Amino acid sequence: MTRFLDISNHALFWYYLASNVAYLTMLIVALKTSLAHQRRLESHRLKWIKETPLAPPITIIVPAHNEEGSIRVAVRNLLQLDYPQLEVIVVNDGSDDRTLDEMREEFLLRLVRAVYVAEAKTAPVRGLYRSEVNASLLVVDKEPGGSKADAVNAGLNAATSPYVCVVDADSILERDALLRIMMPILEDPKRVVAVGGIIRVLNGSEIAGGQLQRVRLPRKAIEVIQVIEYLRAFLIGREAWGQGNMLMIISGAFGVFRTDLVRAVGGYRATAIGEDFDLVARLHRHLRQQEMDYHIQFVPDPMCWTEAPSDLRSLGRQRARWQKGLLDVLWPCRDMLFRRRYGRIGYLALPYLWIFELLAPAIEIGGIVTIVLAACLGALSQGFFVQFLLFGYAFATMISIGSVLQEEITYKRYNDWQDVARLVSYCFLEHFPYRQLHMIWRLQGLWQYLRGDNVWRPLTRKGLESAHIR
Amino acid sequence: MASIFEKLWRLGPAAFVLKAIIAALVANGLLLAFILLRRTYRKRYFAKRDARVYELRQSWDALVSGEIPFDTWRSKPFDRRIVEAIALDAFEAAGPEQSARLLKFLRTSGLIEKRIFEARHLKGWRRMRALVALGRTRAPEGIPALAEGLRDRDLETRLAALRGLGRMACPQAAEEILAWLGEKGLTVPDLPLQGALVQCCAERPQLLLPYIKNAESHLREVLGRVLGEVATPSLGPDLLQFVGDDLDELRAAAARAMPQTHSAFAPEVLSELAADPVWFVRLRAIVSLGKLSDCRAIPTLLRGLMDSNRLVRWRAAEALVEFKTEMVPIFEKVVAARDRYGLHAYLTALENAGMRGQLEVELQANTRTIEDVKQRLRNVLETGTLPVEEPATAASLPNSAMELR
């Protein structure tokens, strides 16, 4: 038993070390990339892109299911975006609240007999509506499809542009977000097939007239911790993976894709739990199989602000769902592991996701149990135990502060001193007991999936309530 | 010699962890100190900058006219950067008179010379910044320095130089870009190049013609696209040579450019291109025919409404809806063609343009059409389906390719 605990603790030590080294590498790569990106931005002027006749048209697809609280603000925000040629398609996915009525009132919708070719199979479409106040707005009203993917596919069928951008109905885009996210595509339209933007936590900020007016840190601790998580995930993780063309996730809340390629892979998988991750994984597979020279990129400055769960229950459900989504995608992709054909995706990105994302909750919780057990049985020196904890704590804090630093030296959205002080202090506080709770939620997600509970369920939304709408 | 792993192992996890803790704690302290110091510094810097911008703005006219000697601010990098930023921003929105005044100021104050020097001699980001700033001045004397930037080994520098030349927006800049393309071929992504050329060739699109004739296939396509954007009436006869070109992109560019030439033969040429085997050439031709607003285009647009490509059908429908005085006859022809895809496209365009009600009214008021036909048309308009008594067959559909739809 003691021997087993000893081996287990050593294994855990090396696992932590490897994970921390990976994160440190990503932090360094991300800092370097961000600074280079900032420099590059100095020689760009967004106004020039806004005026160019060569910018390709974009269709924004907004899947909406019971979004009566946020739909007006969200759609108004999208219609005000700076971009030369824009089409906005809102897909009302069988909402049983007033989502469609809200849009009817706000945008004076009228039923139109428009062409709708169901290239990707979806739940039946009830009708198409065009706005009287803004001709670029089209609303697709359909039967509930049971998943966000189904709704996005309906939007995809109605889309008429060479690029589609999927945006959540509870999200707010910054006015120049589309111009910024399209920059890599405009520079290299042949190679860049998809681009992801950054998602930020909207809770606590102020919105007026469909635009984000003032960015503030949310009040609740659980929301602030999510701010740090988002900074870490996007400004470090995605930035670094994107730099190596190994980006596996473009957030479903904000990403641009080449329409023909999304159609070529059959649109979104309607049964996928993490439809955004699933699509990117299938795009990688498709493009690698076609031996195409491509790039899936992440750009950290086009910002999308989204509502984050503000209570433990919703957050737990969200994280369990993300973990289920991870397994739901990684399992079908297991044939890509360590296959030469899939290059760095098969050798690096997917193994990382398996080891440090998918199995992390099981390994971490198992590790905590064995360490405690070894300490109780006297198989572990108490000094080493404390040191080990301290190391994990100090290192994880360093990564979190690193992400705050990254935000500070590049995009600096939290201008208030108080906000920054709170953000930094939560870098120290998030590790107990939030981190352990988070692992339990993720483990629950894995367990639910393995038990066969793998149905996509929408989260309960507050409808931008957490932001102050004026 | 022991490997690194053996050394690590001998160190023992406990000692290693202890060192790692110390390192992580020091790193945390440094990160926090950096954030704190940076914030404090920036706060003071921006307060100082704001105050100085305000002061300089107050005396802006005196600064530009030279009443305040240039030496008072030129030798101070902080002031110089502010003055240059204000001048370049003003330049973007200035009319011809104000532009001339600002350009004179930039020249006499030596700011342009300084940027030319930086664009030639600095490296990395500072050079790129200088190249773009130089372009923003629109001073022709900056063109040689920008042209040197085009020949740099670094792609980012080449792009910055290209952007700079694009901002010059003059034929001399276009000549430099085209000469460089002739020399080196296409070594930058398409879109920045097209953007720069569109701006520079707007005045003299003829500059492009010899290069299009001699360029390699992909570069030819890129230049063709630019030609499509910048074409002017003076280019009319020259465009005809591209109508029968082997490259699809060139034919599409010719179609795109045609309405801007205002030539009498445009409808015929576009009708020919609207029957091209390549869908995007047909699409461009149909869009251009729509822009002509010429009744001679209606038969071709009706044909486009039955195209095998969905985008071509949509654009044809949108163009047809614009013929507001011919709505009833067009609708009659759309129904007579008995193509349900074409009919749907037309009705969609009608709905999108909010013209459905107007067509109903015009159908009602139309005296030339017999009542039976009118009723049939009203039914089609109401139901969106073709009359059942004469079922459409695939064979009767022009360009029929049902599987493509």
Percent residues over pLDDT 70 in chain B: 91
Residues in CB range of A359: below 8 A, 6 or more apart: none
At residue B396, the pLDDT reads 39
At residue B278, the pLDDT reads 92
- pLDDT tens profile B238-277: 888 888 888 888 899 899 888 888 888 889 999 999 999 9
Does residue B128 belong to the interface with chain A, where contact is any CB pair within 8 Å?
Answer: yes
- In angstroms, rounded to a whole number, what is the distance separating the alpha carbons of residues A361 and B290? 61
- In angstroms, rounded to a whole number, what is the distance separating the alpha carbons of residues A335 and A167? 31
Pairing of strands A137-142, A125-131: antiparallel
Residues in CB range of B49: below 8 A, 6 or more apart: B78, B82
Average pLDDT across chain B, whole number: 87
- In angstroms, rounded to a whole number, what is the distance separating the alpha carbons of residues B77 and B58? 19
Domain hosting B382: range is: 300-405
Average the pLDDT over each of A29-43, A273-287, B8-22, B172-186 and give the range with the smallest value. B8-22
β-partners of residue A304 are A173, A199
List the pLDDT tens digit at each of the 470 positions of chain A: 777 887 887 888 889 889 989 999 999 999 999 888 888 777 676 777 777 777 889 999 999 999 998 899 999 999 999 998 899 999 999 999 999 999 999 999 988 876 677 888 899 999 999 898 888 899 999 999 888 999 999 999 999 888 999 999 888 999 999 999 998 998 788 899 999 999 999 999 998 877 888 999 999 999 999 999 999 999 999 999 999 999 999 998 999 999 999 999 999 998 888 899 999 999 999 999 999 999 999 999 889 999 899 999 999 999 999 999 999 999 999 999 999 999 999 999 999 999 999 999 999 899 888 888 887 887 777 777 777 788 888 889 999 999 999 998 888 888 888 999 999 999 999 988 899 999 999 999 999 999 988 765 665 555 555 566 55
Task: Compute the average pLDDT of residues B158-172.
Answer: 93
Give the 3-state secondary structure percentages of chain B, helix then strand then coil, rounded to 5.
80, 0, 20
B3 confidence band (pLDDT: 50, 70, 90):
low
- pLDDT tens profile B369-382: 778 888 888 888 88
B387 confidence band (pLDDT: 50, 70, 90):
confident
Structure tokens at B255: 């179609």
Q: Is residue B262 part of a domain?
A: no
Distance from CA of A385 to the nearest CA of B (A): 9
Which one, of B216, B190, B223, lies nearest residue A190 by Cα? B190
Element (H, E) at A208: strand A206-208
Residues in CB range of B53: below 8 A, 6 or more apart: B82, B86
Q: Is residue B225 part of a domain?
A: no
At residue B401, the pLDDT reads 33
Q: Is residue B306 part of a domain?
A: yes
Q: Is residue B371 part of a domain?
A: yes
- Across the beta sheet with A295-306, the strand order is A109-112, A125-131, A137-142, A86-93, A58-64, A163-167, A254-258, A192-201, A295-306, A171-173
| Structural domain count of chain B | 1
Would you call the peptide bond into A433 cis, given omega within 30 degrees of 0 as the criterion?
A: yes
Question: In this structure, is the dihedral angle defined by the CA atoms of residues B305, B307, B308 and B313, taken in order, positive or negative?
Answer: negative
- In angstroms, rounded to a whole number, what is the distance separating the alpha carbons of residues B375 and A63? 40
Our CA angle for A141, A307, A419, nearest 5°, is 160
Which one, of B15, B17, B26, lies nearest residue A390 by Cα? B17
Chain A: residue nearest B348 by CA? A114
Buried b (16+ CB within 10 A) or exposed e, A164-181: bbbbbbbbbbbbbbbbbb
ipTM over 0.95: no
- In angstroms, rounded to a whole number, what is the distance separating the alpha carbons of residues B149 and B131? 8
Distance from CA of B344 to the nearest CA of A (A): 6
Q: Is A192 helix (H, G, I), strand (E, B) or coil?
A: strand
At residue B395, the pLDDT reads 39
The answer to whether the CB of B210 falls within 8 A of the CB of B181 is no
Record: contact A54-B194, CB cut-off 8 A: yes
The answer to whether the CB of A442 falls within 8 A of the CB of A181 is no
The answer to whether the CB of B348 falls within 8 A of the CB of B380 is no
Does residue A189 belong to the interface with chain B, where contact is any CB pair within 8 Å?
Answer: yes
The partner residue sitting opposite A398, judged by closest CB among B13, B28, B225, is: B28
Domain segments of chain A as ranges? 1-470
- In angstroms, rounded to a whole number, what is the distance separating the alpha carbons of residues B14 and B22? 13
Structure tokens at A84: 């030369």
Q: Of A181-195, B48-62, B312-326, which has the strongest mean pLDDT? A: B48-62
The partner residue sitting opposite A113, judged by closest CB among B156, B348, B354, is: B348
Q: For residue B91, is pLDDT > 60?
A: yes
Q: Is A144 helix (H, G, I), strand (E, B) or coil?
A: coil
- pLDDT tens profile B187-245: 888 888 988 999 999 999 999 999 998 888 789 989 988 988 888 888 878 888 888 88
At residue B400, the pLDDT reads 34
Distance from CA of A274 to the nearest CA of B (A): 31
The answer to whether the CB of B135 falls within 8 A of the CB of B166 is yes
- pLDDT tens profile B94-142: 888 999 999 999 999 999 999 999 999 999 889 999 999 999 999 999 9
Q: Considering the domain delimited by A1-470, tell me its CATH architecture.
A: Alpha-Beta Complex (3.90)
More confident residue, A94 or B21: A94
At residue B80, the pLDDT reads 94
Q: Is residue B222 part of a domain?
A: no
Q: Is residue B111 part of a domain?
A: no
Our CA angle for A297, A303, A308, nearest 5°, is 110
B402 confidence band (pLDDT: 50, 70, 90):
very low
At residue B393, the pLDDT reads 44
Whole-structure pTM value: 0.81
At residue B234, the pLDDT reads 80
Distance from CA of A130 to the nearest CA of B (A): 7
Chain A: residue nearest B161 by CA? A43
